[in-house]
Copies of this chain bind each other. A is one copy, B any other.
Amino acid sequence: MKKKPLILVSNDDGITAKGIATLVEIVSELGEVVVVAPNKPQSGMGHAITIHEPLKIYRSTIFPHLKEVYEASGTPADCVKLAKHYVLHGNAPDLVVSGINHGSNTSISILYSGTMSAAIEGAIEGIPAIGFSLCDYGADADFSHTKPYIKKIIENVLEKGLPKGTALNVNIPAKHSHAAIKGIKICRQAKAYWKEEFDERTDPYNRKYLWLTGKFVNNDHGEDTDEWAIANGYVSIVPCVFDLTAHHFISTMNEWGM
């Protein structure tokens, strides 16, 4: 009998979120599962790591059918590092999955996303990795329709592998946004951005404070983008790398003659 794959689960909404419970349920059917997740919400943490303070990690009993479940004080990227180098003593899992995030991580949101930072940290460690997000920010969002898609994507990745240093950014339409999901589209990251607005308020001591808010602006109408896929009822998958080099611009800069 083939050995069961070892699957590491993390997220950014914290270990008590509904999304990670759904993901744990799905992967428990597919392999041996280890969970290392933040002990509090870490949304918007991007690829932050914790270097100015120490980390704490404790066993958790939140998923009683699993032996290896931990909550940690750090960021999603910290959790993946802790899992591989502390919990698993340097042994790499066969797959890292992160999520299911409560909210979309399409387009530029990948840079701000804690969910995707856990997946990309996996890719940096040379492990196939997938971040899953549901386009519904509700704490009580309905994840039931995501299961067959997540299972199919994980099974494909376990069977076929991913090129070294590649992570998948998977976004799934909210339950009631369409009659039914139409299928899966392999996409590129849409060229969209967040137009910030600051909501200025005054505290009871007459000091000003600001909430970061914003509107998502998408002027990229390409039908090969993740935004198009989600808007049209498809699950989007963007394969991602962590080489940010603008290779096409190197020769131009060399002509500057600095």
Contacts and interface: CB of A to CB of B under 8 A. Distances in A.
Given A50-B212, A55-B209, A201-B54, A238 B245 contact: yes
Interface in A63-79: 74-75, 77-78
A191 B52 contact: no
Contact of A112 (B49, B210, B249): B49
A153 interface: yes
A250 interface: yes
Contact of A243 (B41, B51, B153, B189): B189
A57 B210 CA distance: 8
Nearest to A224: B250
Given A210-B56, A250-B239, A110 B244 contact: yes
Q: How many copies does the complex hold?
A: 2
A246 B201 contact: no
Give the interface SS of chain A, mostly helix, strand, loop or mixed: mixed
Chain A: number of interface residues, binned into ranges: 35 or more
A68 to B, nearest CB: 17
A82 interface: yes
Interface in A225-258: 237-247, 249-250, 253-254, 256, 258
Interface in A22-48: 41, 43-48
Nearest to A201: B54
A86 B208 CA distance: 13
A171 B135 CA distance: 38
12 contacts: A45-B46, A46-B77, A47-B112, A55-B209, A108-B242, A110-B244, A156-B256, A162-B249, A166-B246, A238-B245, A240-B244, A240-B245
Interface of A: 41, 43-52, 54-57, 74-75, 77-78, 81-82, 84-86, 108, 110-112, 117, 120, 124-125, 152-153, 156, 160, 162-163, 165-166, 169, 184, 186-189, 191, 193, 196-198, 201, 207-212, 237-247, 249-250, 253-254, 256, 258
